[in-house]
Amino acid sequence: MKRFALLAIALSFAPAALADMTHRIQSSVQLQVDGAGSISERIGSSYAVSGSNINLDTAGGLGTLTPGSGVGYTAADYSITTAGDAFSFTESFLEGDATPSATSVSAGVVPSLPILGQTTTTSGGDAGSLAGTIASDHVLTLTAGGAGTSAIGQIVTELSID
């Protein structure tokens, strides 16, 4: 019995161990629906002509060259310089984009998008049944949505003892 008494006395003088303990639980849900988008780039009009042994008889240059239309020369506007000699003639025309009317956004939707020389369009997402919940016991519930949606759920548990 004396041995236990001595052990009890010895342990009562031992220093106490102190430790800080932290426990943290964090839950999060992120839901995303992609928006529609369009990138358009207008292409300008261009006209080029080249040749040899040929004359342009019309003074004043090209008729009109405006976005969306162009009126160039006709065969009647040219003549051969030296009759009977060989000639060459090359003409090219690229009709540029007309200036589109302004677009508007109504309730997050663009009713009509301009279609120009270079256009990239992406459709928007459809939320559909997209949903996410976190219960008090940190249970995550994610419900898939339609096209162009994403749902991310995350639980972080941290335990630190200092």
Question: pLDDT: is 162 or 14 the higher one?
Answer: 162
Mean pLDDT of 118-123: 80
* Tokens (6 digits) for 3: 């041995």
Measured between alpha carbons, how far is 162 from 159 in angstroms, rounded to an integer?
Answer: 10
Question: pLDDT: is 83 or 78 the higher one?
Answer: 83
Mean pLDDT of 81-91: 89
Tell me which of 14-23, 41-50, 77-86 is least confident.
14-23
Q: How many CB atoms lie within 10 A of CB 118?
A: 11
pTM of the model: 0.47
How many alpha carbons lie under 13 Å from residue 145 in its C-beta half-sphere?
A: 19
Mean pLDDT of 63-79: 69
